[in-house]
A and B are shown apart, each in its own frame.
Chain A
Amino acid sequence: MTTVSNRTHEATAAGAPAGAKTRPGALATTGSPLVRPPAAAHLTDEQVAELGRELDAIKDDILGKRGSSDADYIRRMIKIQRALEISGRAALLFSKNKKAWVAGTTLLSFAKILENMELGHNILHGQWDWMRDPDIHSTTWEWDFVTPARAWQHTHNDLHHRWTNVVGKDNDVGYNLLRMDENQPWKPFNLGNPLYNAILAPVFEWGIAIYDLELADYQEGKKTKEALMRDLKALGKKALKQFTKDYAATPAAAMLTGSGKQALYGTLTANAVRNVWAHAVIFCGHFPDGADTFTEEMVEGETRGDWYVRQMIGSANISGSKFMHLMTGNLSHQIEHHLFPDLPSNRYAEVAPKVQEICKRYNLPYTTGPLLKQVGSSWAKVFKLAVPGKAKTA
């Protein structure tokens, strides 16, 4: 319902009559924005349109190939994840034994990471909706994360992916907590930037849950009290179940072997590991050096090609092994994911060289680097923007 009311709101804003042929949000194929972002300022309207057609062709190519091998892939991932989850939790029941604790906590950490990233994030994007399997579908999936899937889909799929890195429109730029862009006015509160971020990382799922409530929208009157109460209720229900599973039921079952306390430490650790990892990966998506932010002028009149350009120059990849890509839920291919948010994640690696080639040909930045470098780069920004002034990029 949130989605619908939001769209209605935009329809009014855009002045589109009810029942109009094009939906608000549909982008023109020709024309140009008021201002093109600096990194793309050298491109003509025709070049941007051509770039858009090339990227559409890449997408169509994958849509044509998508089939049973992709379906097998996601089913295999789901099986692996569930096997890890069961065995991890089972091992924690005997976690008085140190080896069992290490094994259980490790397995559960991996299970939670896979569940949130390669499964949850991607399935909730609708990447697997084409299979028409109600067990693997964006409208039925619920994830092992405090924030309810529907709430997250609204702020993430709808708002973040549409308005990627547009300061003032995409609240993912700092999550209403951190100053992550020099165009965000500095306040003394921002001195705590590094501290807030350090506290946020291990409890990231709770941070996202609060973020998805859109409290700022409520204060500004953009979100009704009923909508907020409904979201709070959904969050409360979900949080209670999540809390019970990891911090009550599992330790209670482990008490039978005298491992209650150890099991609690195990689930706490697994959640913290997942939170720190997810936080690190997600901060690598748009905050490292080279990933641009945008002004509202740059999206006014934006064409389909310009939208693609913004996704590419506003995102950053992580380079690394196949295993690293899997553990990031293929968000290491952030650029490709932002171009094609609903293509199956297992296809991003195949698309990446083509996208990189296009960026090279059109002389656009394609930001990528190893994990540690990208994490370091986004943390550097957290520190630099704690104080007033501009964060000079190296």
Chain B
Amino acid sequence: MIRLRKLARAASLFTTPLAPEDFLALFNPVFSTRQLRGVVTRVVPETADSATIFFRPGRGWQAHKAGQWARIGVELDGVFHWRSYSLSAPAGQDPAITVSDVGAVSGALVRNTKPGDILFLAPPQGDFVLPEHPRPLLMLTAGAGITPVMSMIRTLVPHRPDSDVELIHSARTPADSIFREELAELADQFPNLKVTDWYTSERGRFDFSSSKELDALCPDWRSRAAYACGPEGFLDDAESLWSAEAAAAARNGGKSPAGPFAADPVNLIIERFTTSLAGGDGHDGGLVTFEASDREVEADGATPLLDVGEDAGLLMPSGCRMGICHSCLIPLRAGHVRDLRTGEVHGEPGQLIQTCVSAAAGPVNLDI
């Protein structure tokens, strides 16, 4: 490695102001010193509107843990758009994302991706991962929420006979259920996995208003480490049930089950895909000035500043795009912003703004 670095430094004497990688990119497009990239190696359709995309990342990628997500930049008509996708491949194997067609970017990914295409990448991240020590698990998923959980099941079930996983997966119909066949096969083959398919077209939404349905499907659910991933309503409902149970347990003087999650009374780990951003509806925006870039754009009151900047061609820092990871912070120079989750207006010069969930509330000057 050290010799390689010396060689690269010598080569850069000839390539300056470019890096040797810029010339290597003539032969292999993943070479770049500025942007981690991957080449699509295989695209496997899953359902009518979802597909799994395998890619070979360039140097700088880190192997993912089962359940993590990565930011992926997808080229759409010449423009790169960043979105976050859960990795569905098991840990230790080549990365792959499974994408459902729910918007312009994911739709293009599902329909138009071909082997050889380039994706921009950011290393995997996220805390929605398997517990460090073995313990019985309950997985609650709905729709595309199965994706990170699939990575966990693929990682754990075939290799750990001592594992104990119960999965309750909601999908509208069998045809909409991603990984249905593979899950059925895994459950057949490995007694440590139990799968319940819950089709909402037949049985309605899974009812979290009481513990009745859970008790029926998984009587020991209270003692399991639970993971939930799916649409916002599904997660909110699950979260209320677990909080209610925790509150009840506390009232009865009971203790929450022992284990690595004992510190977490709720004992439910959730992964959100989207955040409701309705706080800016009906409000006026303002002139957004990106000071260091010397750009200004008239923005409405509902568009996140992150999108405003990206549409103006700026290289905006970004992350989860739902206000949780704080990768998109930019200092405010002047003006006020509206938090699109709550509708609250705030802003002091120097304050770091979460651009992915903040819109202009009047003129805004940002330090980028």
Contacts and interface: CB of A to CB of B under 8 A. Distances in A.
Interface string B356-368: 0000000101000
A129 to B, nearest CB: 3
A9 interface: no
B287 interface: yes
A133 B17 contact: no
A333 interface: no
B79 A130 contact: yes
Contacts of A132: 73, 79-81, 310, 313, 315
B32 interface: yes
A253 B14 contact: yes
A242 B292 contact: no
Given A7-B294, A23-B296, A82-B22, A70 B78 contact: yes
B334 interface: yes
B335 interface: yes
Interface in B296-319: 296, 310, 313-315
B13 interface: yes
B75 interface: yes
A69 B334 CA distance: 38
B26 interface: yes
A135 B77 contact: no
B334 A18 contact: yes
Question: Do most interface residues of chain B lie in helix, strand or loop, or is the interface mixed?
Answer: mixed
A131 B287 CA distance: 23
B17 A135 contact: no
A356 interface: no
Contact of B78 (A4, A26, A131): A131
A53 interface: no
B293 interface: yes
A132 B25 CA distance: 18
Contacts of A139: 293, 315
A4 B291 CA distance: 7
Nearest to A241: B16
A22 interface: yes
Interface in A226-257: 238, 241-242, 244-245, 249-250, 253
Interface string A15-58: 00011111100100000000000000000000000000000000
11 contacts: A7-B294, A19-B363, A23-B287, A67-B78, A72-B78, A86-B23, A86-B26, A89-B14, A137-B315, A158-B294, A250-B14
Interface of B: 13-18, 22-23, 25-26, 32, 34-35, 73, 75, 77-81, 120, 286-287, 289, 291-294, 296, 310, 313-315, 334-335, 363, 365
Given A68-B77, A241-B16, 19 more contacts: A3-B294, A19-B365, A23-B296, A79-B26, A82-B18, A82-B22, A83-B26, A86-B26, A89-B14, A130-B78, A130-B79, A132-B81, A133-B80, A133-B120, A134-B32, A134-B35, A134-B315, A238-B17, A253-B14
